[in-house]
Every structure is written in C-alpha cells, then in structure tokens.
Structure 1
Amino acid sequence: MNFSVYWQNADAVSKTLYFVLVIMSIATWTIFVIRLMGTRQLKQHAFNHLEQALNQLKAKLSLLSLDERKTVAEQSLLRTISEQKTKAEKGVAVLGTIASIAPFMGLFGTVWGIFHALVAVGKSGQAGLAQVATPVGEALIMTGLGLAVAIPAVLAYNICVRANRALAHGLNDKAHQLLIDVMLDK
C-alpha cells in the first residue's frame, strides 16, 4: 500500500492525527536543534553572568563582615544560577510531552483503523482481505508514525536533560570558585 492509497481512504480523524503527529515531529527536531545550539552558547554566557553578578557586588561586599559577605555572595550566585537554569530548560518540557503523547496518538490511530476494518466487514458481511487490508494498513501506518515521533522525542529529551545537568554542575563549580575568591578578598 502506498501513501496515496492511504490518504485517499483516510477519514478526517486519521488525517488530523497524521498532521498532529507531523507537527509534533517538526517541533521535536526544531526544539532539539535550538536547545543543543543554545546550551553551548548559554554555558559561556552563564559563566560570564556569574562573574558580572559578583563584580557588581564587590564594592558593597567590602563593607560587610565575612559571614555577611558570604551570605550576600551566595544569594547572588544562587539567583543567577537559577535564572540560567530556567533559560536552559525552555522547550525541554515540550519534548517530554511529545515523547509521552505520541505513542498514544499512534495507538488511537491504530484503534481507529481497526474500527474501520470492522465496519467494512460489517457492511459487506464477509471478512475478506479486500475489506480489511486498507483499514489495517492505515492502522499500521499510524502506529509507525506515532513511534517515529516518540522515539526521537525521547532521545532528544534525554540528551537535553543531560546537557542541562552538565550545565548546572558547571555553574555550581564556577559559583564555588567565585565564592572562594570573594571570601579571600579582604
């Protein structure tokens, strides 16, 4: 069965599911590429932002006691780290959602195709190959499409989460280094 036969026999529900899954696939790849490129750029920007946050406080910190200086510097660094982590996580939840939903949408398409096969059998009164081949083929296409969307979304989600975790560790290490520098400044 080629795609034109599928498309001619598909109803509005099947075509809608098809378009939704295609849109989800495009969104997955777009978000994944943007997140990969963005995380690399964000890493250097975030490190610079940490340094800038403490540089802005240096004049004020010199007037404080050691404990106060440590507390103020820690809070400034934690706030900056939180801002940078929030930037890095944009779009990752969408990948997780697509990875979770796509197989079920494919399954719904499968159920819908099997339903069409049973309706065709019921109308003809015979359970021949001619009555069930197209709807079952439609069902299998929707199953495959759901998996074709979900699998890359799961992989992209896991890669982005891992990159964000590495970024968070790097930011924490840099913040500790900066905090030590602030504590040693008199």
Structure 2
Amino acid sequence: MGHTGIFHYLASGDAVTRSVAYLLFAMSVASWCFLLAKSWMLVRAKRQGPRALALFWQASTLTDAIVVIRRADSERIFVPLAEAALEAGQVHASSPLLARVDMSERVTRALRQALTVSRRRIEFGHVLLASIGSTAPFVGLLGTVWGIYHALTSIAASGQAVIESVAGPVGEALIMTAFGLVVAIPAVLGYNILGRLQRQLSEELDGFARDLHAYVCAPGTGKEAAHHSRDTQLQP
C-alpha cells in the first residue's frame, strides 16, 4: 500500500499531474465557497422579499416606503427599483430637457436600468458554477490521460510489462477522472438550484417594477415626487 494510492501517484507524477490536481482542488474550493455564500444571499432575499414588499405598499408615501424597504431588504434586491421610481418621477428644474420627456418613458427607462442592476446582483458568479461544472470532468480526464501516458512510458522504459506493474499506475491515474466528477457534480447541482431561486426572484422583481410603473405614472403621484424634489433642493 505504500507504493500505491493517490499520494503515491502525486508524489511520482510530474508537473502536469500536480498542476491538474491543484487546479481541481482550486475549482472545488471556489465552487463550494460560492455555493455557500450565494445560497445564503438568495435564501435571505427570497425570505425578505414578501415582507419587504408588503411593508412598502403599506406606507403612506413613496418616500416613506423607500425608507421602510431599505430596512426590510438588507440584500438590496428591491431597493434599487424603488429608488429609481422615485428619482424618475421627480421633475428636475435643472434638467428642462429631461422634464419634457414623457413620464411613462422616463420611469420605464429608469426601472429597466434598476432591474439590470438587481439581476446582475442575484446572477453574479452563476457563470462560475456553469464553467466548473462543464470543465471539471475534462480537466480530470486530462489528468488521467496524462497519468496513463506517464505510467506506460515508465513501464516501457523499465521493460517490466506485466499486469502487476501496469494495473497500479493506471488505476492511480483513473482517480483523476473521479476527482473531476466529484468537483463537477456539486457545481452542476448548485447551478440548477440557485438558478431556480434566481428565476423566482427575477419574477418578483418584474412584478414589483410593473407595480411601481403603474403607481408613479398614476394621476396625482407626480405631485408627491415634485414636492420631495423641492424639499431636497431646499435642504442645506
């Protein structure tokens, strides 16, 4: 047993063998760290979302609603949309050209930009899991192929081409393929699970954006935004 096993394989391997092993280890650490951090963030956002939106629509004014949702939405998933809606609803005296743009178009553009910001936050790093899940098996296969080639070359040089001398090195090389699968499977599962949470949050964001657009563009709402804009300009 002292001359077989993964440790003997790494010790007897060359720079390519060790590089593949270190790369798989780094990919595994990166995927698990991202999975834990991203799962925590998405689960919190999914739980806070309904309560944050309920408190938002219970407020008397849009300004008060933004203050409430900032406290309830600690992950800042829905806050950018509310802030963008209030900002778009204000008629700035310093921007006469922007003030001539139709209210609906101005709010739509602002909400679309805020949706992009929120979606980038919830989708950040998702490509990493997809990349690890799709490439890790091939990285492990590369280690296996190179290990078998290295082992057969050594056996051919020694002239001892018997089954005992071939089975050990080839079996050790096949471990790299198993390591590649061990790295890839959690990444693929995490990609699918987190993707489902992201789609649910994205649907809630779309609904919140539509409700904000209808509220800000409703008759009489512009007075509140204009009043808030004057108060902001009068503050020292």
Shorter-chain TM-score tier: 0.7 to 0.9
Structure 2 residue aligned with 1:172? 206
How do 1:61-72 residues align onto structure 2 when only pairs under 5 Å count?
68-72=102-106
TM-score, normalised relative to structure 1: 0.87
| Residue 38 (structure 1) shift | 2.3
TM-score, normalised relative to structure 2: 0.70
| Residue 130 (structure 1) shift | 2.9
Q: Matched residue of 1:136: which SS?
A: helix
Structure 1 residue aligned with 2:154? 120
Structure 1: distance between partners of 2:175 and 2:130: 23
Aligned length: 183
1:4 correspondence with 2:7: yes
Give the RMSD, CA atoms, in angstroms: 2.2
Of residues 46, 63, 75, the one that matches 2:77 is 46
Structure with the higher helix share, 1 or 2: 1
Structure 2: distance between partners of 1:58 and 1:31: 38
Of residues 119, 126, 139, the one that matches 2:173 is 139
Q: Deviations 1:107-165 (Å, cap 9, x if unpaired)? A: 11111122123213312334313321332122211010011111111112222222222
1:23 correspondence with 2:54: no
Q: Deviations 1:75-102 (Å, cap 9, x if unpaired)? A: 1111000011112222111111111211
Bigger drift between 176-185 and 37-46 goes to 37-46
Structure 2: distance between partners of 1:81 and 1:41: 19
Percentage of identical aligned residues:
36
Contact 1:39 1:164 in 2 (8 A): yes
| Residue 181 (structure 1) shift | 1.3
Q: Deviations 1:23-82 (Å, cap 9, x if unpaired)? A: 000000111111122234556322122112212333329xx79x9221111111110000
Give the aligned residue type for 2:28.
S
1:76 correspondence with 2:130: no
Larger Rg, first or second structure (1 or 2): 2
Q: Matched residue of 1:185: which SS?
A: coil
Of residues 95, 109, 122, the one that matches 2:129 is 95
Gaps of 5+ in 2: 50-72, 93-98, 221-236
Q: In 2 relative to 1, CA 131–120 (structure 1 residues): closer, same or farther, beyond 3 Å?
A: farther
Give the aligned residue type for 1:68.
D
Q: Matched residue of 1:8: which SS?
A: helix
Gaps of 5+ in 1: none
Structure 1: distance between partners of 2:19 and 2:167: 21
Higher relative contact order (CA 8 A, sep 6+): 1
Bigger drift between 78-87 and 1-10 goes to 1-10
Contact 1:10 1:138 in 2 (8 A): no
